[in-house]
Amino acid sequence: MRKALIGAAGLLAAMAAPGAAQDAAPAVEVMILGTYHMGNPGRDLANMEADDVTQLRRQAEIAAVAEALAAWRPTRVLVEWQRPAPFTVERYRAFRPEDLATDRNEVVQIGFRLARMLGHEEVYGFDEQSGEGEPEYFQFDRIQSWASAHGRGALVDETMGFFRSMVEEEGRAQADRSIAEMLMLHNDPERDRIGHSRGYYGFLPLGDGDDQVGAEFNSYWYMRNAKMFGKIALIAEPGDRVLVLVGSGHRYWLTHFAEITPGFTSVDPRPWLQRAAAGGE
């Protein structure tokens, strides 16, 4: 055992040596840009009613966001659509600027717009959804059922109340905030932390020794995000600057993976959004 430990220590020392660092491939820079759903699909438990982003004022604001992000010079744009390997989004190839006047989806408004501005031939989809015979990644119905059957429904109601109040506050903020300012709100690390603390980890005590529904709820959510980041890793090449457009609820885990996964480094989008909010200054 002692020899094994010494051997492992020697291996770690060799990996940390300057020569090994010099030979390492350049890191992939990953900017996780969290957004709200501009097209109002209503798929989340608490949904913000987004205003019409096809109106002239909002179009000018989104154009400012795209121009600011383009200054970071992303080499790939990834969007929250599920596609089989090699993960390319066929719809992007048919994209035309006039689509921006009718399609409110943030993938089109930000992702396609930015990729076309940069001259990219492809946009990549990295979402992960459960398929036939696979477990559901978001098992909220199971949480509700267990809590109701065991007298813990108040915890679920309190959590949903927290999310609804947060979403309502975000909806009201649209009245006097630009798109860039709204995106800065959705990319606030403290917001990410509170959302996961109140919305996910708060469910961990739910369950018993045989049926730990709260732990499994968190595990499946982690699994989905881990698979999403795994696809990012499959798409990216060393030295890439990858802009990842995703619903802001995914930012907590995707940013975590970008920060600590070997070969990757996380880029904060807020300075670039601040530039857009300030009119490009």
Average pLDDT value for residue range 137-144: 91
* pLDDT, mean of residues 90-94: 96
Residues 6+ away with beta carbon under 8 Å from 167:
46, 47, 48
42 has a pLDDT exceeding 50: no
How far, in Å, CA of 222 to CA of 203, rounded? 14
Q: Which of 197, 170, 199 is nearest to 186 (CA)?
A: 170
CA pair distance 162, 46, nearest whole angstrom: 10
Mean pLDDT value of segment 214-239: 96
CB 250 within 8 A of CB 34: yes
8 A C-beta contact, residue 113 and residue 60: no
- Among the residue ranges 45-54, 130-139, 250-259, the one predicted with the least confidence is 45-54
Convert 95-145 into a string of H (helix), E (strand) and C (coil): CCHHHHHCCCCHHHHHHHHHHHHHCCCCCEECCCCCCCCCCCCCCHHHHHH
Instruction: Quote the CA–CA distance of 37 and 186 in Å, as a whole number.
Output: 11
Task: Quote the mean pLDDT of the chain.
Answer: 88
Residue 19: pLDDT band by 50, 70, 90 thresholds? low
Whether pLDDT at 271 is above 70: yes
Edge-to-edge strand ranges of the sheet holding 264-267? 124-125, 76-79, 241-247, 28-35, 264-267
Q: Residue 164 has what pLDDT? A: 85
Instruction: Please determine, for residue 45, whether its predicted confidence score (pLDDT) is greater than 60.
Output: no
- Which pTM was predicted? 0.86
Of 4-13, 30-39, 55-64, 226-235, give the lowest mean pLDDT range: 4-13
Q: Which residue has the higher pLDDT, 165 or 178?
A: 178
Report pLDDT for 15.
52
Average pLDDT over residues 223-243: 97
Give the residue from 180, 171, 172 showing the smallest Cα distance to 60: 180
Q: What is the pLDDT of residue 239?
A: 97
Q: Give start and end residues of each alpha helix (H) in the chain.
A: 2-16, 18-23, 56-70, 90-93, 106, 113-118, 140-149, 153-173, 179-186, 189-199, 213-235, 251-260, 270-277
Specify the pLDDT at position 58: 95
Give the Cα separation of 250 and 273 in Å (integer).
Answer: 18
